[in-house]
């Protein structure tokens, strides 16, 4: 790693806390979280130790896809508040040393956006070419068919027939989310002005860029290979991701809409980059020399166990798969010779809870698992992202909940597809088996596990809303049944709680940032299915020395050992990190409870200084 890699861009040191506005804090008792509720919790966020808030879409929206269907980039969804509330939020965060980034959703809009309403008004509309319209094709029987066989992200075709104008429009997601036509330069400039410059002028600090690799479409729209013979619609991500002009478009947006606000790299950009497995392709997005994005969110770990054709039917994976997913991005950044940066995360609004997926949410192991994952994430190289509730160890929703308790469009589309499959089953028993598997999968992987209301205390509705306790107003989504055991108030200043441990770890990470934020990652004992072991090293070639850390220990190397089982496990001490050279720095249990330096307790993680 060279000096470019360790240059102190502000977003490299950042600890980003993602807020899902509908579920964070309701200030007015209507059962829906809002921006004033977030403002009221600014001190809580500051005390946690984060320095960036990523606010999920709060724009005016019909909420078909929870705000990712935007009807107006320059206005606020009414239940969330007003535009003036955003100005107050920006000031409240900035006054506490916290920056704010927003979701930049510019692959598509809502079908209620004025641009699309004009586009679909007629084939002669001046904005017709702002979206992607194509004529029908016809099969051998003369039946009208969509232009190709691509499957939409939420199921069905990516094409929706528009009867008045007798053409199909493209939508990679829900039919209410038509894709913008980035080939049109007038459209691009309107996007930059309405979605980007408008908010930078108001004082925000950057963007999480939604579906950043989908703007450029292969204009021939070829059919996808048939991977699901039972369906007319086929998985097509390799075709509609990373299109022919995507890097041209991104460079233009960065130079014309971002760089004028403080210069190159001043505005933070983190891209959502699905279905991009080739490191060469990834580097094109995040190369400092290419000057497109600061970093991207890799889903290698989050996607473990997900199916392709049937996303919510879990596939087996083990700790070695988790190691490989994380190590890939740690190595990729280090091997770029300072030309790219990476991110670290285990949860977001599109994924289930990490404790339930990667450790144990059993009551006897839940808190230990929360601390274990916290220690792992805070000791890895890159910009750290935390999702709301992760800091108190929130877990998946109960298996007993019926599908009606879920709100996500994707979950209900999956459930409907499984119902259709069950209807074709040869027997009632086989149909029941299919639907049981569907609910088992939803219980493991559904996005709503991360979207249930934040658990603030043990009062009704977990203190999320001030709605009357008589139940006359319900939260927009049911609160997890375990809120009396898992909540902020119960953990505040409680030694050993996940919240207290996260606070301590974030302070520790800041003190030793050159080692943990910037240090070189070296994995050991990869094939061990129970323990994850790696070292972190300061690269002296970068000009950074161990003594520059604010912490009391001058070590230039640390050993991290993580037990992902419910049984004691031996610590793997690499050849150059023998036990006699290691001094215990931090344990996810308690340093004073460690009786054997060479044995990890169930779901325990440790960091050792290496002399």
Considering the domain boundaries, does residue 512 fall inside one?
A: no
What does the pLDDT read at residue 552?
53
Q: Is 82 left (phi over 0), alpha (psi -120 to 50) or beta?
A: beta
Considering the domain boundaries, does residue 402 fall inside one?
A: yes
- The stretches in the chain having pLDDT less than 50 are 1-6, 541-543, 550
Give the pair of three-digit tokens for residue 414: 């999956």
Q: Domain containing 398 — which CATH number?
A: 3.20.20.80
Which residues are known to be catalytic?
A: 210, 272
Burial class (CB in 10 A: 0-12, 13-18, 19+), 601: buried
Considering the domain boundaries, does residue 76 fall inside one?
A: yes
Q: How far is CA 157 from CA 164, 168, 171, 231, 232, in A?
A: 19, 11, 8, 10, 8
Same domain, 165 and 257: no
Residue closest to 371 by CA, chosen among 75, 594, 146, 586: 586
What does the pLDDT read at residue 7?
64
CB 152 within 8 A of CB 173: yes
What does the pLDDT read at residue 543?
47
Indicate the pairing of strand 599-600 with strand 520-524. unpaired
Give the structural domain span for 580.
Answer: 520-610
Same domain, 162 and 226: no
Residue closest to 115 by CA, chosen among 70, 85, 77: 70
Helix 428-445 / helix 409-423 crossing angle, nearest 10 deg: 160
Considering the domain boundaries, does residue 254 fall inside one?
A: yes
Same domain, 305 and 205: yes
What does the pLDDT read at residue 1?
38
Backbone CA torsion sign across 242, 243, 247, 250 = negative
Q: Considering its fold, how many domains does the chain have in total?
A: 3
Backbone CA torsion sign across 589, 591, 593, 596 = positive
pLDDT digits over 579-610, tens only?
A: 999 999 999 998 778 889 999 999 999 999 99
Considering the domain boundaries, does residue 602 fall inside one?
A: yes
- 200 contacts: CB under 8 Å, gap ≥ 6: 257, 258, 261, 267
Tokens 């990523």 belong to which residue? Answer: 54
CB 62 within 8 A of CB 109: no
Considering the domain boundaries, does residue 199 fall inside one?
A: yes
Tell me how far apart the alpha carbons of residues 182 and 267 are, in angstroms, rounded to a whole number: 22
Tell me how far apart the alpha carbons of residues 228 and 234 are, in angstroms, rounded to a whole number: 6
Q: How far is CA 209 from CA 20, 147, 340, 385, 574, in A?
A: 15, 28, 17, 14, 40
- 51 by DSSP, 3-state: which? coil
Indicate the pairing of strand 167-170 with strand 133-134. antiparallel
Same domain, 120 and 243: no
Q: Which of 470, 491, 512 is the last residue of a domain?
A: 491
Considering the domain boundaries, does residue 257 fall inside one?
A: yes
Same domain, 279 and 165: no
Same domain, 258 and 144: no
Considering the domain boundaries, does residue 132 fall inside one?
A: yes
Q: Domain containing 561 — which CATH number?
A: 2.60.40.1180
Same domain, 247 and 148: no
Same domain, 428 and 540: no
Give the pair of three-digit tokens for residue 105: 């959703």
Same domain, 82 and 118: no
Same domain, 67 and 194: yes
Q: Domain containing 161 — which CATH number?
A: 3.90.400.10
């Amino acid at each position: 790693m060279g000096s470019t890699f360790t240059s102190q861009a502000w977003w490299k040191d950042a600890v980003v806390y993602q807020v899902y506005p509908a579920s964070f804090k309701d200030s007015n008792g209507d059962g829906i979280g809002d921006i004033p509720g977030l403002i009221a919790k600014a001190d809580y966020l500051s005390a946690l130790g984060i320095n960036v808030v990523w606010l999920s879409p709060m724009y005016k929206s019909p909420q078909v896809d929870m705000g990712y269907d935007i009807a107006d980039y320059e206005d606020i969804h009414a239940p969330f508040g007003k535009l003036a509330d955003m100005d107050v939020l920006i000031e409240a965060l900035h006054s506490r040393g916290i920056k704010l980034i927003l979701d930049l959703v510019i692959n598509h809009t809502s079908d209620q956006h004025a641009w699309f309403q004009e586009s679909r008004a007629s084939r002669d509309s001046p904005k017709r070419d702002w979206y992607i319209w194509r004529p029908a094709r016809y099969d051998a029987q003369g039946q009208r068919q969509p232009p190709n066989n691509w499957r939409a992200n939420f199921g069905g075709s990516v094409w929706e027939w528009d009867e008045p104008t007798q053409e199909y429009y493209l939508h990679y997601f829900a039919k209410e989310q038509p894709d913008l036509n980035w080939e049109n330069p007038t459209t691009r400039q309107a996007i930059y002005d309405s979605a980007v410059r408008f908010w930078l002028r108001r004082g925000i600090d950057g963007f999480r860029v939604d579906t950043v690799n989908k703007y450029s479409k292969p204009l021939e729209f070829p059919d996808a290979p048939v991977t699901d013979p039972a369906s007319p619609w086929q998985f097509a991500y390799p075709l509609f991701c990373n299109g022919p002009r995507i890097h041209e478009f991104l460079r233009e947006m960065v130079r014309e809409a971002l760089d004028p606000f403080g210069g190159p790299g001043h505005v933070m950009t983190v891209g959502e980059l699905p279905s991009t497995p080739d490191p060469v392709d990834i580097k094109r997005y995040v190369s400092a020399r290419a000057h497109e994005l600061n970093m991207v969110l890799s889903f290698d770990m989050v996607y473990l166990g997900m199916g392709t054709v049937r996303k919510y039917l879990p596939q087996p994976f083990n700790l070695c798969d988790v190691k490989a997913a994380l190590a890939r991005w740690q190595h990729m950044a280090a091997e770029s010779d300072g030309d790219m940066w990476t991110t670290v995360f285990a949860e977001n609004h599109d994924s289930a809870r990490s404790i339930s997926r990667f450790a144990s949410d059993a009551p006897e192991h839940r808190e230990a698992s929360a601390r274990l994952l916290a220690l792992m994430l805070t000791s890895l190289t890159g910009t750290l992202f935390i999702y709301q509730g992760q800091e108190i160890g929130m877990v998946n929703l109960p298996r007993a909940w019926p599908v009606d308790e879920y709100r996500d469009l994707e979950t209900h589309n999956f459930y409907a597809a499984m119902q259709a499959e069950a209807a074709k089953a040869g027997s009632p028993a086989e149909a029941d088996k299919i639907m049981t598997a569907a609910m088992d999968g939803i219980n493991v992987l559904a996005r709503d596990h991360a979207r249930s209301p934040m658990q603030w205390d043990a009062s009704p509705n977990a203190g999320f809303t001030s709605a009357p306790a008589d139940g006359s107003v319900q939260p927009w989504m049911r609160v997890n049944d375990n809120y009396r055991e898992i909540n902020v108030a119960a953990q505040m200043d409680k030694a050993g709680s996940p919240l207290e441990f996260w606070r301590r770890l974030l302070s520790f990470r800041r003190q030793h940032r050159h080692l943990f934020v910037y240090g070189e990652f070296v994995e050991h004992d990869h094939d061990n299915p129970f323990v994850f072991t790696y070292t972190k090293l300061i690269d002296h070639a970068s000009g950074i020395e161990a003594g520059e850390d604010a912490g009391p220990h001058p070590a230039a190397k640390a050993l991290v050992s993580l037990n992902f089982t419910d049984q004691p496990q031996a610590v793997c001490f690499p050849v150059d990190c023998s036990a006699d050279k290691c001094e215990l720095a931090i344990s996810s249990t308690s340093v004073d409870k460690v009786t054997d330096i060479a044995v990890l307790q169930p779901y325990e993680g440790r960091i050792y200084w290496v002399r």
